[in-house]
């Protein structure tokens, strides 16, 4: 499909359209089951704006040939850089009963982050939703520096472990 110059392309505001679920068990990250996701813990309301940091990238493999003046490349190893999530931290406050993210994402915990983009967070997950799944091990957490007009937050580090991650996969029934 070719677009005519000046064709307006709609965009979707991101506000209120990202879910983050902590799931203890997923049998196949390329085909997460609806029952697995709904058995998870919704930490969406704890993740701060811009607090998700998990950037997949791919190295390149140099493919130089003796008989050409050009260099070629092939896709190489994939990796995740800077994996962490910044969350509201109500530890020791009058809201400490509402501290699900900090209580769930404890150092050494293993599980899966499931992220869904583009649907209102009030919408329940359904089969055929498109999600990203990350197999992770939780690392240390650290308090985020206090700033004027801010809330108490912590940065929770994690590492991606085998079987890795799967992006843009369909939820199965």
The arithmetic mean of pLDDT across residues 32-60, rounded, is 96
Say what the pTM is: 0.90
Mean pLDDT of 7-16: 90
Query: Which domain does 32 fall in, by range?
Result: 18-60+77-170
Check whether 52 has a pLDDT greater than 80: yes
Distance (Å, whole) CA 87 – CA 154: 6
- Residue 8 within any structural domain of the chain: no
**How many domains does the chain contain in total?**
1
Q: Is residue 54 part of a domain?
A: yes
Give yes or no for residue 141 having a pLDDT over 70: yes
In a domain, 141, yes or no: yes
The confidence band for 170, taking pLDDT boundaries of 50, 70 and 90, is very high
* CATH number of the domain bearing residue 134: 2.40.30
pLDDT of 1 > 80? The answer is no
69 lies in some domain:
no
């Amino acid at each position: 499909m070719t677009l005519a110059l000046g064709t307006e392309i709609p965009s979707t505001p991101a506000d209120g359209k990202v879910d983050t679920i902590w799931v203890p068990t997923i049998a196949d990250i390329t085909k997460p089951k609806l029952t697995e996701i709904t058995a998870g813990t919704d930490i969406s309301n704890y993740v701060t704006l811009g607090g998700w940091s998990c950037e997949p990238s791919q190295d390149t493999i140099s493919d130089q040939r003796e008989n050409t003046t050009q260099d070629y490349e092939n896709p190489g190893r994939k990796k995740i850089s800077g994996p962490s999530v910044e969350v509201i931290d109500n530890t020791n406050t009058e809201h400490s009963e509402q501290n699900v993210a900090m209580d769930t994402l404890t150092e050494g915990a293993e599980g899966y982050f499931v992220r869904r983009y583009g649907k209102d967070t009030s919408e329940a997950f359904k089969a055929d939703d498109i999600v990203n799944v990350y197999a992770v091990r939780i690392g240390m957490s650290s308090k985020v520096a206090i700033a004027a007009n801010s809330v108490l937050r912590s940065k929770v580090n994690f590492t991606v472990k085998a079987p890795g991650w799967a992006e843009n996969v369909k939820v199965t029934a």
